[in-house]
Structure 1
Amino acid sequence: MYDNQPRTSAPDTLPEVITRYLKAHRAHDTATAITAFTDRATVIDDGNTYAGTEVIEAWLNRSATEFTYTIHLTNAQQTDATRYIATHHLEGNFPGGTIDLRYQFTLRDGLIERLVIEP
């Protein structure tokens, strides 16, 4: 079914769990964002690994207040049956001021099992 070629798709075709997470993250709604993850989820961001919902929730709370920025979804791809990439453009008061980040999601049982965020 998948030929290992990423397929670009419209942002509104991302799975509901990803759009729920992204909307909650943008709104700094940690309580909703954390519901998108499995109990054993892992997030890798800025070279750090966060494992389990309690640790991920602390990361979400910290990242929501560390910098002020705008975030815009610029691209969405499905790379296989359970993997998606959502590319975002951020502008704000963090070092460098602008960056494009790839949010690489792996789903399991309808929830986010792994999220890797990198340029």
Structure 2
Amino acid sequence: MEQFDWTQATKITPDELPDLITTYLTAHQSRDLDTAIAQYTTDAVVIDDGREYHGPAEIRTWLARAATEYTYTSKVTAAYRCDQDHFDVLHRLEGNFPGGVADLHFRFTLRDGLIARLIIES
């Protein structure tokens, strides 16, 4: 498992995020599975709610389930760069899930111009 110190981040504007991340986040929010999956490496890992999803097939299943489980809106509230391969994007979600509001970090690790790892956590 990757050990990375996310506290060593510098705040940036969302416009300064790599196009890859912006494309992914737009696809994720609009539930465009093909575009979202195309942004991942073939050996990518997503960690969400303590569960791991490995590779395009498992990630696609996770994205499809997440898209239908709840209705919510998502807004980027902050963005951070740790280095050229590590970015943290803070989202505020509001919807019909338990609690109704959540601030979540989408922590991206990039490799070779694609997403190698995404950790979603509060």
Q: Under TM normalisation by the shorter chain, which class is it?
A: over 0.9
Aligned residue runs from structure 1 range 86-101, under 5 A? 86-101=89-104
- Structure 2 length as normaliser, TM-score? 0.93
Which of 18, 34, 37 is the aligned partner of 2:21? 18
What residue in structure 2 maps to residue 65 of structure 1? Answer: 68
Structure 1 residue 80: deviation in Å?
Answer: 1.6
What residue in structure 1 maps to residue 45 of structure 2? Answer: 42
Structure 2 residue ranges without an equivalent (≥5): 1-6
Which residue identity lines up with residue 115 of structure 1 in the other structure?
L
- Structure 1 length as normaliser, TM-score? 0.95
Question: Equivalents in 1 of 2:40, 2:21: separation in Å?
Answer: 10
Count of aligned pairs: 116
Q: Secondary structure at the match of 2:109?
A: strand
Structure 1 residue ranges without an equivalent (≥5): none
What residue in structure 1 maps to residue 4 of structure 2? Answer: none
Runs (4 or more) in structure 1 with deviation over 2 Å come to: none
Structure 1 residue 5: deviation in Å?
Answer: 3.3
1:52 and 2:83 matched: no
Identity %: 52
Cα RMSD between the aligned structures?
Answer: 0.9
What residue in structure 1 maps to residue 117 of structure 2? Answer: 114
Question: Equivalents in 2 of 1:75, 1:115: separation in Å?
Answer: 17
Structure 1 residue 81: deviation in Å?
Answer: 2.1
Question: Equivalents in 2 of 1:52, 1:116: separation in Å?
Answer: 14
- In the TM superposition, what whole-angstrom CA distance separates every residue of 1:80-100 from its partner, at most 9, and x where no partner exists? 221000000000000110000
Q: Secondary structure at the match of 1:53?
A: helix
Q: Secondary structure at the match of 1:65?
A: helix
